[in-house]
Structure 1
Amino acid sequence: MEDPVAEIPHIIHLLTESIPSVQQQTVEKFFTSSASLTHPFCRTGSFEGSRWLILCIYRFYKIMSPRIDLEVQSVAFDSHTLTLYVSLSQTFYIFIIPFYKAPVRLTTILSLTTTPPSSSSSSSSQRKPLYYIAAQNDLYQTSEFIKFVAPFGIGVTAVAIWQFFATVFCVLGSWVLCGVTWAEEKGWLPLSGEVIRHGMRMGVNDRGRGKGKEE
């Protein structure tokens, strides 16, 4: 890729919606030979030849849902860390479950490198660096990836109930253990100096009150 932000939406569509031969060409062209993939349901290591595992995962993904509706909603690129953040939504049609579709949202973090998949593909005459995917990390909320294994709203409802009780537990815990909060407020429990300095820069002092401007 010469322009990751502009090119990545098309690459994602090729990986998820194209025929197997095009999927293979896309993986071989844009992933390094030791690329890794991390997903809530599967992961690969990062070793020479691991790109083949990524291809198998994408192929099975397409087998499970021959039809996929996908939309890339936003792309952000951190040029300092060579990290690409992609927010997208997709509708996954699981063929073994008739009349069911799973609309999900996720964020994909792509770690890029300017090292080509093989030294033979590099050219010193290139005017712009070419970017390749070294690692893919798919991040789903629990309420999203549960749709793949517990359809028709069953999983989503179960997760919502669990999250509700977890919230109640946090509220009760904040009251029962309020002594810890009090000790922190009094300065009896040390806080990170960087946290305090950051709070000062934000205009908030170490007791949580606005500093305000000096008279």
Structure 2
Amino acid sequence: MENPVEEIPHVIHLLTQTSPSLQRSTISTYFTQRASFTHPFCRTGSWQHSRFLIWAIYRWYKILSPKIELHVNSVVFDESNLLLYVQLHQLFRIWFIPFYRAPVNLVTVLKLMRDKDGKYYIDSQNDLYQVDEFVKFITLPGGWVFVWVLQFLATAFCLIGAVLLWPVSAWEEFVGVGVEKTKQDMHLKD
């Protein structure tokens, strides 16, 4: 890629909505040979020819859900760290489960590598889903409600713990835990 921000939506559509041969060609064109892939359900690691496993993951993805609806909402490029952040929405349907739909939002973090000609290649892909999003893949409709209930319960426990154990916070404040570090950080910002 010469311009990752402009080109990545097209690359994502090629990976998720094209024929097997074009999908494989896309992986060969845009991923390094040692590229890694991380997802809540699978990972490849990075080793010589690991992009073969990336091809297998994308193939299985398309076999399970032959007609993926996908929209790239935003792309941000952190050029100094060669990180491309892509926020997208997809509608995943498993063809052999009637009425199954998993509308999910995710952020994909792509670590890029730049060659001597100035072109960018994907060196790693990390798909980040909130728990209530990736649980949609594996539960019956409404499974995300269970996750939300657990998350709100955990938040309630945080509140109770913070209120009941306020003496710990008072002690940290009294002895100045982190005060010197905070002063240093504030000084650097000035």
TM-score range, shorter chain: over 0.9
**1:152 and 2:141 correspond:** yes
Question: How many pairs were matched up?
Answer: 190
Look up the match of 1:26.
26
Runs of 4+ that moved beyond 6 A: 200-203
Return the letter of the residue paired with 1:40.
Answer: P
**1:81 and 2:68 correspond:** no
> For structure 2, which runs of at least 5 residues remain unmatched after alignment?
none
Look up the match of 1:131.
120
Return the letter of the residue paired with 1:196.
Answer: K
Please give the per-residue CA displacement for 1:74-122, whole angstroms capped at 9, x wherever unaligned.
Answer: 001011011100000000011232112111000000000013xxxxxxx
Q: 1:44 to 1:183 in 2, by over 3 A?
A: same
TM-score by length of 1: 0.84
Query: Greater CA deviation, 190-199 or 83-92?
Result: 190-199
Please give the per-residue CA displacement for 1:114-149, whole angstroms capped at 9, x wherever unaligned.
Answer: 13xxxxxxxx7x5xx100000000000000000000
Return the letter of the residue paired with 2:164.
Answer: V
**Whose Rg is larger?**
1
Alignment of 1:113-128 (within 5 A): 113-115=113-115, 126=117
Q: Structure 1 CA distance, aligned partners of 2:156 and 2:167? A: 19
**1:172 and 2:170 correspond:** no
Look up the match of 2:173.
185
Look up the match of 2:3.
3
Q: Structure 2 CA distance, aligned partners of 1:104 and 1:112? A: 24
How high is the sequence identity, in percent, across the aligned residues?
50
Return the letter of the residue paired with 1:76.
Answer: V
- Which secondary structure does the structure 2 equivalent of 1:108 belong to? strand
TM-score by length of 2: 0.94
Q: Structure 2 CA distance, aligned partners of 1:192 and 1:163? A: 32
**Structure with the largest fraction of helix:** 2
Q: 1:43 to 1:64 in 2, by over 3 A?
A: same
